[in-house]
């Protein structure tokens, strides 16, 4: 038997396995051709003081910034104790980027250049340039910088829509400051929901601090993404990395180059996912759309008639498959445009026309709040409720609803509590405590029932299940 194993040759393997082995990619030509388009980016900032704190390994600075960890104070080496260093530039971080055009426009991550007083771009031939920040967009983590000159080698932009799961991809960058490092892997997944405005590409390409802003390339040498994030408990590569799709990044870059900022649409709603239980209990069928938890007072959605508890299922006929789709669709809509929202409300759909406004940076939103007040008899589902006062209805901007004074049994297990305001039950709008009691009395006690609940500024659905 042992001899038989020893005699097994390549010719005895299935033809498909041999062919597959011969087809493993060779990255040498791609790396040689594309490396000159990839740059190293160093940033410096002027230290405002020199109080305490030890030195931080400069390759870890980007990791601190990327994951929101405060950067320790770093006094100049051998500086006299207590000396002010107002004018002393300190190296702040290291990252990567790639040249978009021969006239010196470079794309990178916003977090690479954020807060920098000086940006230094180094090419593979060791030429160094001081770069000007053209613009940066924190929401998508895309930035564009410019170096002076012409005739620079530039990348070719690929089509993210043609990118397939399982396809080989290559990253080139400066992990830990090690310039022009090439790593490879495959596309693990697409459309990963990790941000408000971007569905990211997930890969298993080795990405570490310093790779941020570098290109993700397909085997044709086309840029399909910007390496941006990793999933890790240690801060080092753990087999999962994320890239910004290049089509989304180019939309942002074009606006940064032309107007220096990104213009986005907004309608003034706070949203949440629609769960399977909620979808089934309210008659929606499948868990899709975006549940409106809150409506901005005086905002576009409120003016169009959108209410808390609505589920937005389509925008101009385009399906909202999951809640994260809504901010992306609206964000890409030109401010001032009239847009039709299809909403699901209490068992039926309706169309509402909204005029999209412009999203401003970190805009504060005022949302109506609910204040608790007074009591009535306990219902069969374990709720004691009371009418809202006129003042409370005006404050909440609701036509009806009842306040929960006590939640027991099935209602308590579902998460309802004192002070909650019930706006509808079983897709029936609640007008007052008496009508609420009549609706509950007619419910099938063996079936789950959906309740639309306002808590503070948010509206959500709660499913009350029968006691088994």
Strands (E) in 231-274, as ranges, are 241-245, 265-266, 269-273
d(CA 414, CA 391): 28
The residue annotated as part of the active site, out of 141, 325, 387, 405, is 141
What distance, in Å, lies between the first and last C-alpha atoms of the chain? 61
Q: Token digits for 138?
A: 């924190």
On whether the CB atoms of residues 304 and 341 are closer than 8 A, the answer is: yes
On whether the CB atoms of residues 338 and 355 are closer than 8 A, the answer is: yes
Q: Which residues are annotated as a binding site for substrate?
A: 111, 141, 210-212
d(CA 289, CA 322): 5
Distances 219 to 24, 155, 171, 216 between C-alpha atoms, Å? 11, 13, 11, 10
Question: Which pairs with CB-CB distance under 8 Å and at least 24 residues apart come from 111-116?
Answer: 111/62, 111/65, 111/66, 111/138, 111/141, 111/212, 112/41, 112/43, 112/62, 112/143, 112/212, 112/213, 113/41, 113/43, 113/143, 113/145, 114/65, 114/138, 114/143, 115/45, 116/43, 116/44, 116/45, 116/92
On whether the CB atoms of residues 171 and 227 are closer than 8 A, the answer is: yes
212 flagged as catalytic: yes
d(CA 452, CA 272): 13
The residue annotated as part of the active site, out of 96, 174, 188, 212, is 212
The residue annotated as part of the active site, out of 111, 174, 310, 323, is 111
CB proximity list for 106: less than 8 A, separation 6 or greater: 39, 41, 97, 98, 99, 100, 121, 131, 144, 145, 146, 147
Give the single-character DSSP code of 297.
Answer: T
111 flagged as catalytic: yes
d(CA 208, CA 235): 8
Q: Which residues are annotated as a binding site?
A: 111, 141, 210-212
Q: Which residues sit opposite 318 in a β-bridge?
A: 315
On whether the CB atoms of residues 239 and 249 are closer than 8 A, the answer is: no
* Residues annotated as catalytic (active site), given as ranges: 111, 141, 212
């Amino acid at each position: 038997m042992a001899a038989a194993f020893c005699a097994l040759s390549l010719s005895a393997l299935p033809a498909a396995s041999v062919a597959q082995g011969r087809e493993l990619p060779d990255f040498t030509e791609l790396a040689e051709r594309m490396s000159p388009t990839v740059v190293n980016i160093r940033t410096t900032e002027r230290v405002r003081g020199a109080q305490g704190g030890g030195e931080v390994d400069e390759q870890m600075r980007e990791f601190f910034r990327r994951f929101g960890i405060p950067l320790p104070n770093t006094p100049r080496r051998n500086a006299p104790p207590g000396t002010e260093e107002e004018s002393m530039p300190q190296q702040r971080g290291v990252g990567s980027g790639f040249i978009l055009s021969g006239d010196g426009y470079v794309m990178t991550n916003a977090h690479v250049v954020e807060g920098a007083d000086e940006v230094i771009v180094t090419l593979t031939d060791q030429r160094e340039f001081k770069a000007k920040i053209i613009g940066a967009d924190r929401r998508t983590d895309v930035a564009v910088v410019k170096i002076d000159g012409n005739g620079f080698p530039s990348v070719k932009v690929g089509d993210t829509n043609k990118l397939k799961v399982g396809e080989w991809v290559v990253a080139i960058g400066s992990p830990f400051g090690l310039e022009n490092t090439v790593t490879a892997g495959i596309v693990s997944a697409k459309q990963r929901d990790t941000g408000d405005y971007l569905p990211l590409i997930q890969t298993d390409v080795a990405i570490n601090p310093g790779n941020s802003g570098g290109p993700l390339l397909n085997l044709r040498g086309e840029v399909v993404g910007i390496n941006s994030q990793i999933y890790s408990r240690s801060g080092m590569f753990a087999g999962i990395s994320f890239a910004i799709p290049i089509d989304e990044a180019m939309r942002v870059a074009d606006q940064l180059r032309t107007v220096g900022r990104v213009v986005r649409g907004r309608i003034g709603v706070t949203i949440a996912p629609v769960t399977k239980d909620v979808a089934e209990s309210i008659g929606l069928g499948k868990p899709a759309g975006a549940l409106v938890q809150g409506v901005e007072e005086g905002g576009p959605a409120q003016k169009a008639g959108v209410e808390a508890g609505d589920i937005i299922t389509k925008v101009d006929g385009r399906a909202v498959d999951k809640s994260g789709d809504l901010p992306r669709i609206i964000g890409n809509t030109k401010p001032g445009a009239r847009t039709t929202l299809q909403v699901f409300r209490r068992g039926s759909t309706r169309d509402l026309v909204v005029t999209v406004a412009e999203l401003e940076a970190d805009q504060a939103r005022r949302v109506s709040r609910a204040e608790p007040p007074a009591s009535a008899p306990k219902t069969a589902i374990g709720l004691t409720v009371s009418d809202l006062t006129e003042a409370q209805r005006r404050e909440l901007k609701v036509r009806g609803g009842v306040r929960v004074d006590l939640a027991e049994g099935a209602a308590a297990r579902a998460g309802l509590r004192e002070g909650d305001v019930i706006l509808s039950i079983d897709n029936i709008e609640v007008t007052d405590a008496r009508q609420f009691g009549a609706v509950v009395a007619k419910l099938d006690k063996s079936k789950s029932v959906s309740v639309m609940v306002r808590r503070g500024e948010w509206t959500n659905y709660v499913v009350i299940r029968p006691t088994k």
